[in-house]
Copies of this chain bind each other. A is one copy, B any other.
Amino acid sequence: MLPFKTLIVIDRNSRQPLYLQIANRFVGLIREGVLKPGLLLPSSRVLALQLELHRKTIVAAYEELVSQDWVTAIPRKGIMVASNLPVIRPRSFQTPSSPYGQGPAFSFGSIPTVALSRHETAPPGQLIINDGFPDVREAPLEAWVKESRAIIQSPRYHQLLTYGTPAGSNALRRQLIGYLTNTRGLSITPDNLMVTRGAQMAIYLAAAMLIKKGDYVIVGSPNYFFADLCFEQLGARLLRVPVDEDGIDVEAIEQLCRKHKVRMLYVVPHHHHPTTVTLSAERRMKLLHIIRTYRLAVLEDDYDFDFHYSSAPILPLASGDHGGNVIYVGSFTKSLGLSVRIGFMVAPAAFLAETARLRQLMDLRGDNLSEETLAALLADGTIERHLKKSGRLYHERRDQLAHLLRMKLGNKVQFTEPAGGMAIWVTFDPRFPLSVISGKAAAMGLRITGGEHYFYGTTPANALRFGFASLNHKELNKAVGILEKITVSFAGNSENIKFDTKKDQWKN
């Protein structure tokens, strides 16, 4: 007989009942292959003697094993390790014999992707340039947790936390209407507003409601890659329209509308992603005209409205005369730097009601505690104060990065200082390919995310969204210093190369 006294180790101080400890240990032994299928186990009396336990404990353990189908009670023979039940084939933990080491035998769809890690953390001692994300060290996390605590301690908390619709908490929607009216001049009612998990979910939902396989969708070139991927995943054929220093080319949009039945336009008028350019007033006016004329469904992504330094922000298309054709999307994830992802979608009520149903199928509803917390922080002015404070900080950092780029990298890079936001779009001289620079930088303790991917589907740009918001004075200095060292070490004479602003490229 096997040495059960050794195999079955019992912890009398454990909260777990003895019989369950024994049963669990048996399960382990069966799965590890120590106890083979068909093996007859000792009778409860014999095992009780060996383990110096009451027989009832062993009987209870065996009953547990029987009820879990690990063993079979054979009349007049005893308890046998099950041999015929597929669920209990002996296997060891994390070996190829796990069913999950085999499959799947079924086929499944594939999802377009880019090789990109956006929200990486820097290993200790490493700096990271992200593509434009707030400084999480500045995020109002203390206020957030304090408010959450206040909510759960309030007498009405269980009412707050049990109700909920896929469109989001009523309190937050009320606060958001005030916020969007005051900051963006939107004219909306609660049934025009849905709270989502970040802007990305709003983009996916709107696109999924609109796009059918084969539909034409107009996007900028370059464009926010996750939007491109999302539309392609939903079956769209992308029509790419140039983005220049005045924003997306609206004449080109109109030409496409004349030529094709266009399903949707995706546009980032304010601090375009990735290039940070802002749509000019003239083009905005023209675009609103096109939207009305062609009854064009527009998905307006205004991820970056809350940070503007050089001038007041332009008003979104959603505040203009668009005949109810603009679906407007924004986010607090980007503006607060909290790990909590809360975004929103503004749209005509009939569209939103239908979209809320889709959201319900994808993700029943949001996190009430987070939504109520944000509502309270909007109501008491915490969010407004935080946005002002971090806006001042990021303004300084933008100025500092622009200064450092001019001083240390000079004509090796080209950029236009953005009017706001959290990143500068920096185009590198083609003699300094970003793929090479990234590799060298990583070896020197600087990791660069983003860049190279923005022309997804077409020609990659040798350009980078250099996020300045998350780096303090010292870190910005260090980061640009490393880039300077790398570019200085490159061979070649930079004097003969000039940047052609019209063509947005370098020429020899």
Say yes or no: is A363 at the interface (Cβ < 8 Å to chain B): yes
- Say whether, besides A136-B162, A315-B69, A361-B226, A100 and B188 are in contact (CB < 8 Å): yes
Most B CB within 10 A of own CB, among A15, A93, A137: A93
A307 CB to closest chain B CB (Å) equals 16
Contact of A324 among B101, B112, B192 (CB under 8 A): B101
Whether B360 pairs with A100 at a CB distance below 8 angstroms is no
Contact of A284 among B87, B318, B362 (CB under 8 A): B87
Most B CB within 10 A of own CB, among A108, A189, A289, A370: A108
A95-139 interface mask toward B, CB cutoff 8 Å, 1 = contact, 0 = none? 101111111111011111100011111100000000001001101
Say yes or no: is A233 at the interface (Cβ < 8 Å to chain B): yes
Whether B361 pairs with A108 at a CB distance below 8 angstroms is no
Say yes or no: is A240 at the interface (Cβ < 8 Å to chain B): no
Q: How many copies does the complex hold?
A: 2
- Say whether, besides A104-B325, A121-B159, A322-B99, A94 and B189 are in contact (CB < 8 Å): yes
Whether A189 pairs with B104 at a CB distance below 8 angstroms is no
Chain A residue total in the interface (Cβ 8 A): 132
Say yes or no: is A185 at the interface (Cβ < 8 Å to chain B): yes
- Say whether, besides A198-B363, A358-B111, A325 and B162 are in contact (CB < 8 Å): no
Whether A351 pairs with B312 at a CB distance below 8 angstroms is no
Whether A320 pairs with B187 at a CB distance below 8 angstroms is no
CA distance A122 to B163 in the complex (A): 8
Whether A362 pairs with B145 at a CB distance below 8 angstroms is no
CA distance A338 to B100 in the complex (A): 30
Q: Which residues of B contact A317 (CB under 8 A)?
A: 87
Q: Which residues of B contact A111 (CB under 8 A)?
A: 209, 354-355, 357-358, 361
Say yes or no: is A229 at the interface (Cβ < 8 Å to chain B): yes
Whether B363 pairs with A93 at a CB distance below 8 angstroms is no
CA distance A144 to B263 in the complex (A): 45
- Say whether, besides A145-B149, A187-B31, A85 and B285 are in contact (CB < 8 Å): yes
Whether A198 pairs with B101 at a CB distance below 8 angstroms is no
A365 CB to closest chain B CB (Å) equals 7
Say yes or no: is A64 at the interface (Cβ < 8 Å to chain B): yes
A99 CB to closest chain B CB (Å) equals 5
A4-47 interface mask toward B, CB cutoff 8 Å, 1 = contact, 0 = none? 00000000000100000000100100010000000000000000
Say yes or no: is A399 at the interface (Cβ < 8 Å to chain B): no
Q: Which residues of B contact A292 (CB under 8 A)?
A: 86
Most B CB within 10 A of own CB, among A87, A198, A347: A87
Contact of A187 among B100, B187, B355 (CB under 8 A): B100
Most B CB within 10 A of own CB, among A24, A117, A264, A360: A360
Say yes or no: is A161 at the interface (Cβ < 8 Å to chain B): yes
Say yes or no: is A273 at the interface (Cβ < 8 Å to chain B): no
Whether A201 pairs with B363 at a CB distance below 8 angstroms is yes
Q: Which residues of B contact A139 (CB under 8 A)?
A: 161
Say yes or no: is A407 at the interface (Cβ < 8 Å to chain B): no
- Say whether, besides A87-B320, A163-B119, A187-B93, A325 and B100 are in contact (CB < 8 Å): no
Whether B361 pairs with A89 at a CB distance below 8 angstroms is no
Say yes or no: is A481 at the interface (Cβ < 8 Å to chain B): no
A410-465 at interface with B (beta carbon < 8 Å): none
A324-343 at interface with B (beta carbon < 8 Å): 324-326, 338-341
A259 CB to closest chain B CB (Å) equals 18
CA distance A385 to B14 in the complex (A): 12
26 A-B pairs within 8 Å (CB atoms) are namely: A31-B187, A67-B312, A68-B312, A86-B285, A86-B292, A87-B288, A89-B321, A92-B187, A98-B187, A99-B323, A106-B210, A106-B295, A106-B325, A109-B354, A109-B358, A111-B354, A111-B358, A121-B159, A136-B161, A141-B157, A197-B363, A200-B362, A204-B362, A339-B367, A339-B368, A340-B367
8 A-B pairs closest in CB distance: A103-B324, A87-B320, A121-B163, A106-B297, A86-B321, A98-B187, A105-B295, A111-B357
Given A103-B322, A137-B158, A161-B339, 16 more contacts at CB 8 Å? Answer: A15-B385, A87-B320, A88-B320, A94-B189, A99-B318, A104-B347, A104-B348, A105-B295, A106-B296, A145-B145, A145-B152, A162-B339, A200-B363, A340-B370, A341-B363, A363-B363
